[in-house]
Amino acid sequence: MKENNTLQNNTDQQHSNISTPEITQLIRQLTVQSSGGEQLSTSSIHKFWSTQPVPQLEEQSTALDEGPIEPNKDPEDIRKQPFPLLPQFEWTECDIENQEELEEVYQLLNANYVEDDDSMFRFDYSGSFLYWALRAPGWRKDWHVGVRTVSSKRLVAFISAIPSTICIKGQQVQVVEINFLCIHKKLRNKRLAPVLIKEITRRVNQRGIFQAVYTAGVVLPRPVARCRYYHRSLNPKKLIQVGFSRLGPRMTLSRTIKLYALPKDITIVGLEPLSPQQLSSARDLLAKYLTRFKLSISFSLEEFSHWFLPRKNVIYCYILKNEEGVVTDLISFYELPSTVIQHEKYKNLRAAYSFYNVATSVPLESLMQNALILAKQEGFDVFNALDLMENETFFKQLKFHPGDGFLHYYLYNWRCSTLPPSEMGLVLL
């Protein structure tokens, strides 16, 4: 979530390609370390995850057994009642079309959602972002699952699913994307997360879906990919003041500001915000591009419109078209601010996150430089990107630096060999 200051000036070293077996080994080591150093099996470390249809950490997969881990359930075998909660809690469906209930989800996440390891920054998804993210085509209110206290009706936990289609090594799979799992800080470590996960699984299974995709900072059984965040300073002074980045050795603030300066205006003539007329052409461009990756998302036209049509303070998307009006290039980024947890002057950090980018008529590097210029014009402090798709190819030239955060990608009930970030064509919010 922030720049890894010890590595800030060693970006080159970070660009080495880690091989798939190395990633698997690294994940194992991390798991053993986090369990205190002894050699433990997944079942003794992960009481819950060892019971779930996910590849276990010590498991060796081969190309032969890729696919569902357990078969789809018969509707009669799917539990009818919600899983029991302790008597002081009750299930609720959060109606995010109701402003008050959307605000409750916002407040829960604002105070309790993901923080960096040093608890300096916490994701601050806005209400309008949540409204967008949770209302993807095919969304269902009963997949916006909350837990309230019986006494005060206060919302204390949340988990969500939205429908989606992914393509894994050429095979289209109906999945849900699971996101925004959050438990109030005071209720942590009480094994409530497994109950939320089992309950959302039950509700999704009831609709005939048996696979899911999700991401997490933590290592669980078992990542299909491990991606790293890279950061590009847009407002270096503020980033240094809030402790997101540090001055490099032999650097002054004014030299740093100069280093990250960008042209005031975009340098690619014709770059324009995506509008409804270009949806179909832009979708086709992205769909074709995504076939390059082993794990990618498939957007229907309706989904593409939902995810890419610009919404102020939520999603930004620009395209270039040729003389025939065919979209040839696309850039997109979403807005996800973070709360600066304890700072006298600054309360938040405005971050843009790279979404999907396709370059065919101009070099990707110059397209992304224009993304930085546009993000700067919009007042963002930093531009973040994962090292997936072709992103690594522009990091060095455009002065991105590796962060201290990793993002692990997971598939539920689908066995798949570990993939390097460059094989990933999927960005979750």
Question: Which CB sits closer to ligand MYA, 193 or 314?
Answer: 193
- Rg of the chain over CA atoms, in angstroms? 22
Cα dist from 79 to 82, 85, 159, 198, 201, whole Å: 8, 15, 19, 11, 10
User: Which residue ranges make up the site for ligand MYA (CB under 6 A)?
Assistant: 46-49, 112-114, 176, 178-183, 188-194, 197, 200-201, 204, 209-212, 214, 216, 218, 220, 412-413
Residue 62 or 189: the one with the smaller Cβ distance to ligand MYA is 189
CB of 51 to ligand MYA, least distance (A): 8
Give the residue with the Cβ less far from ligand MYA, 214 or 244.
214
What are 123's strand-pairing partners? 338
- The CA–CA distances, whole Å, from 49 to 41, 54, 125, 301 equal 12, 8, 27, 35
- Closer residue to ligand MYA, CB minimum distance, 176 or 372: 176
Cβ-contact 332, 358 below 8 angstroms: no
The answer to whether residues 52 and 69 touch, using CB atoms and an 8 Å cutoff, is no
Judged by beta carbon, residue 215 or residue 391, the one nearer ligand MYA is 215
Neighbours of 151 (CB within 10 A): 8
Smallest gap from Cβ 307 to ligand MYA, in A, equals 18
C-alpha 340/C-alpha 334 separation (Å) is 19
Q: 245, 247, 265: which is closest to 256 by C-alpha?
A: 247
**Residue 48 or 83 having the CB closest to ligand MYA:** 48
Helices (H), 178-300: 192-206, 236-241, 253-259, 279-290
On the 0-12 / 13-18 / 19+ scale of CB atoms within 10 A, 66 is middle
Please give the structure tokens belonging to residue 82: 């919600």
In terms of CB distance, is 153 or 190 closer to ligand MYA? 190
Closer Cβ to ligand MYA, 109 or 359, answer by number:
109
Q: Give least dist CB 263 to ligand MYA, A.
A: 37
Specify whether the CB–CB gap between 224 and 410 falls below 8 A. yes
Interacting residues of 22 by C-beta distance below 8 A, sequence separation 6+: none
User: How many Cα atoms are found within 13 Å in the side-chain-facing hemisphere of 58?
Assistant: 10
Lookup result for tokens 């992914």? 166
d(CA 362, CA 328): 9
Q: Please report how close the Cβ of residue 97 comes to ligand MYA at its closest, in angstroms.
A: 21
CB of 30 to ligand MYA, least distance (A): 13
Shortest CB 251 distance to ligand MYA, Å:
34
For the bound state, the minimum distance from the C-beta of residue 177 to ligand MYA, rounded and expressed in Å, comes to 9
- 210 or 355: whose CB is closer to ligand MYA? 210
Task: Give the nearer residue to ligand MYA in terms of CB position, either 192 or 274.
Answer: 192
* Shortest distance, position 178 Cβ to ligand MYA, whole Å: 4
Shortest Cβ 190–ligand MYA spacing (Å): 5
DSSP bridge partners of 174? 165
Rounded to whole angstroms, the Cα distance separating 177 from 207 reads 14
Least CB distance to ligand MYA at residue 291 (A)? 25
Largest distance between two CA atoms of the chain: 68
